[in-house]
Amino acid sequence: MHTKILSIAAVSLCMALTFGSCNQKQPSKIMTMLCDDSFENVMEEEISVFEYAYLKQQYHVLTRYVTQKDALDSLFAGSIRTIVVGRDLSKTERSALKDKYPNLRSMKIAVDAVALIVNPSNPVDQLSMKEISEILDGSTTNWSQLQPGAPDKRIHVYFDSEGSGLAMFMRDSLLNGRPMGPLVHATGSIDSVLAVVQKEPTAMGVIGVSHLTKDLTLNNLTIEERVQRLVGDTLAVNGEDINNRMDNSGVKTLGVMRYEAIPYKPYQQNIYDGSYPLTRPIYMITTASPASVGGKFYAFVTGVDGQRIIMKTGILPARMQVTVVELQ
């Protein structure tokens, strides 16, 4: 058996040095941000460690998890200073915002994988990119069209919401912007997508992979132990442990084939080497002053420890060199 270990090739500074001097007087100790709801699990870990690091300063991050469209609209309207979404600003958008907000910054913070999930009783284990496209646009409507022995039942596809980053990514990358078919539905949240797939044998859900690879043992730890697990332990991540979380999540994750006949699941290793085809970038965008709480949180997430947290959630950090070591 080969155990794949992914590690970040960087040395994390001690907590005190990483977060620097926090004695400067801030205009506010609270920041508000909007985040694509498919990235909620990762961002909650970032927030918990950041607030612990700034415990004496009593800094807090208030986050609402919304659709990508709502997050971008709020940024352009000036009602919010920091967002996390599945795309960067266009040249036109950046130019317009820069005129109003000279502190505008954006950075790619992660590479996320889009997971296709079905009920464990469904005999289908894999889909090609062509088959996924045809399911989404309504050309393929029945599981029996995909393989012998599959149920003669309609394929109902579930997203979190119509304007979510996941829905927009799948529409733009697989359908070239064309509308999705009549059997594609929005449930309102990632949790409800999971609930539907766990209940309905013929449903297919589309979610961010971090919702399948979340380390549930963190819930049983004190905040000190949680921080130690996320940023204080070894830089290495055991890929087999993360894969097991996905495989024991209560749903079946489908393998996806690009052009070759080999299906790949959205394991961290396959995100890293590009084998899994359904991946998307995650960006953090802010207009906050670097000296503000929002500016400090942006620096944290894009820095060493923020990237280490992303690594341990099962997706890929965008700002760290990653190496793979196989253990016999």
Can you give the pLDDT at residue 234? 56
In 3D space, the residue among 202, 213, 208 whose CA is nearest the CA of residue 250 turns out to be: 213
DSSP character for 217? G
Mean pLDDT of the chain: 87
| pLDDT in the model for residue 233 | 57
Please report which residue ranges of the chain form alpha helices under DSSP H.
15-18, 40-53, 68-77, 91-100, 129-137, 165-174, 190-199, 210-213, 223-227, 239-247, 268-273, 293-301, 304-311
DSSP 285: E
Per-residue pLDDT of the chain (328 residues; tens, 9 = 90+): 444 445 444 434 344 334 444 444 445 799 999 999 999 999 999 999 999 999 999 999 999 999 999 999 999 999 999 999 999 999 999 999 999 999 999 999 999 999 999 999 999 999 999 999 999 999 999 999 999 999 999 999 999 998 899 999 999 999 998 999 999 999 999 999 999 999 999 999 999 999 998 887 788 888 888 888 888 755 556 667 788 888 888 999 999 998 778 999 999 999 999 999 999 999 999 999 999 999 999 999 999 999 999 988 889 999 765 555 454 4
* Domain ranges, residue 67: 3-112+222-237+280-327
* Spatial distance between the Cα atoms of 160 and 37, rounded to a whole number of angstroms: 8
- Strand-pair partners of 270: none
What's the pLDDT score for residue 323? Answer: 54
**How far is CA 131 from each of CA 143, 220, 256, 266, rounded to the nearest angstrom?**
11, 41, 10, 17
Tell me: do 153 and 261 sit in the same domain. Answer: yes
Q: How many CA atoms lie within 13 A of 82 on its CB side?
A: 23
pTM: 0.85
Same domain (yes/no): 184, 151? yes
d(CA 25, CA 36): 31
In this structure, the answer to whether residues 100 and 119 fall within a common structural domain is: no
Tokens, residue 18? 């990483």
- Residue 117: CATH number of its domain: 3.40.190.10
Residues 94 and 18 in one domain: yes
* Residues 40 and 81 placed together within one structural domain of the fold: yes
Quick one: 134 and 260 in the same domain? yes
CA atoms within 13 A on the CB side of 57: 23
Residues 129 and 29 grouped into a single domain: no
Spatial separation of the C-alpha atoms in residues 295 and 273, rounded to whole Å:
32
